[in-house]
Amino acid sequence: MDNKFWNYEDEAVELALDWAKNRTVTGSDPKTTALSANELRNKVGETITEDGIGPKKALDIFETLNKATRSSDDPMNFAYIPCAPTKAAVAFDEVVSAANVFGGIWENGSGAIFAENQVVDWLKENLNWPEEAIGTFVSGGTHGNLSALACARDNAKNKWETEGIYPKGRPSDGYKLIISKDTHSSVKTIAKVLDVDVLIAETDENGRMTGEAVRTLIDENEGVFAVVATTGTTNTGTIDDIESISKVCQEYDIWLHIDGAYGGAGILAPSVKDLYSGIENADSFIVDPHKWLFAPYDCCCLIYRNPKNVYQTFSQHAEYLEGVDHTQSNPSDMAIHLSRRTRGLPLWYSLVTYGSKKYSEAIEKCLYNAKKCAQAIKDSDHLELVMKPTLSIVVFKRKTWELKDYQKWSNDLALEGRILCIPSSIDGEVILRLAFLNPNTDIDKAINIILETTKWKYIRLHFFKISGAFL
């Protein structure tokens, strides 16, 4: 390589790729944990200097910084929504970076966009959506939800203006969006960005938003332009009653958006396919492959059932863009973005490598693990299963524990690198939550750790309480 301007090019490439290969093959250290900014500053000091320090020292610094990150892909990480990409997907992310494709418009990235569209078509087929449905990849669920709801609002505005329902298509008291109390928190933030009001629908005894609750809010309020239903809430994995909601939305001609950021991948699992009935009638859908489709961060697939109004909402026009052929599949015409990396390619490569059947089996394995863990918790004497898992999230309580007990148990196991499970809450009640998204999890080992460590803690507390001794 002829390095005419930049120093260290060959060495920097070799060191970085060697590190990436080793990390991909060996996996992460489960004992890594977050540190404060002051602690990190004391460890590495100022990293950016006028003359640079060379790739070796730079990578050494990163090694130190990397130890202050949580291990998202560890098979014993059950916190938040873990990311457990296939090794093929991780490796191909390096290829995507090296290829350096501008994936905003077809003329620049046609081959890469074509491959991404193969994934979109695969998801369309599983959604049972028509051939004319279109989609693209954006950075994450928040980005996907924002774009979908911006399109929904624009669609309503144009319709209401054309039909003379509201002057200039805007309701006098503003646009309104229906969600449930368990809809992802980002949607409320999106509502602020879009300047729309949020209406909270009641949920049934199973925590699901229903068509009846949606109908009530539509009848009581003018200017409802969209409903957001969730296929797999982040906290409990609950799936809204999509079938009844979709019928109401069709009746009132209101846009139905499906937030499947986590649980949308469940449509690939035959054992829970029926829970998604009605999704074929939705207007837009997102799923995050970096959650349960085994792709690395960051990646969200956004799909529109009907291209109507999508291009009108998002197509960008500028002097230097006038040559863009908008009859082609331009990602910039489908979401709020222009510059973008072809982040859907790692998923494409992994799917092509392993086959779609393997993906269905991996999701089924996670569902099995959740079910087995839930049964073990239910059968125990000292733990209590809060609810039967809908998908791959298990929520439970430890009898007699307070928040401080949950926190200590969680912190101790995290620092030991045994499991990562953090406290959460449901209606103000503290619970523990396990998210099974890694098919490589040793479920028997995980169950044993959970049962034994919580039991030991109980016995210890009980003993010291009776004896009057101090911990």
CA 18 centroid distance within chain: 29
| Nearest CA among 391, 441, 202 for reference residue 287 | 391
How far, in Å, CA of 31 to CA of 6, rounded?
Answer: 37
**Each residue's pLDDT tens digit, 131-151:** 999 999 999 999 999 999 999
Q: Is the pLDDT of residue 96 over 60?
A: yes
User: Considering the domain boundaries, does residue 75 fall inside one?
Assistant: no
Q: Are residues 202 and 133 in the same domain?
A: yes
Q: Are 221 and 100 members of one domain?
A: yes
Are 170 and 224 found together in one domain? yes
Domain that holds residue 45: 9-30+34-69
Q: Is residue 160 part of a domain?
A: yes
* Residue 86 counted as domain residue: no
Confidence band, pLDDT 50/70/90 cuts, at residue 2: low
Closest CA to 303 of 344, 254, 338, 356: 344
CA atoms within 13 A on the CB side of 274: 1
Give the dihedral sign, CA 201/204/206/208: negative
**Chain center to CA of 407:** 25
Domain end point (choices 356, 373, 396): 356
Q: Last residue of a domain, which of 296, 321, 356?
A: 356
> Cα separations (Å) of 219 from 9, 146, 248, 456?
64, 25, 11, 54
Q: Are 220 and 247 in the same domain?
A: yes
Same domain, residue pair 150 and 205: yes
Sign of the CA dihedral 379, 381, 383, 388?
Answer: positive
CA distance 282 to 129: 9
- Kindly state whether residues 332 and 398 are assigned to the same domain: no
Letter for the amino acid at 234? T
- Judgement on whether residues 260 and 328 belong to the same structural domain of the protein: yes
- What is the rounded CA–CA span in Å between residue 112 and residue 413? 43
**CATH code at position 463:** 3.90.1150.10
**CATH number for the domain that contains residue 136:** 3.40.640.10
**Residue 273 within any structural domain of the chain:** yes
Contact 393, 373 (CB under 8 A): no
Is residue 315 located within the same domain as residue 208? yes
For residue 9 the two structure tokens come to 């090019």
Same domain, 142 and 243: yes
Residues 168-184 pLDDT 10s: 999 999 999 999 999 99
Please indicate, yes or no, if residue 85 is contained in any of the structural domains. no
pLDDT digits (tens, 9 = 90+) for 286-344: 999 999 999 999 999 999 999 988 998 998 776 656 667 767 789 999 999 999 999 99
For the chain, the domain total comes to 3
* Residues 352 and 372 reside in one and the same domain: no
* 249 and 344 fall within a common domain: yes
Same domain, yes or no: 146 and 26: no
**Res. 467: pLDDT tops 60:** no
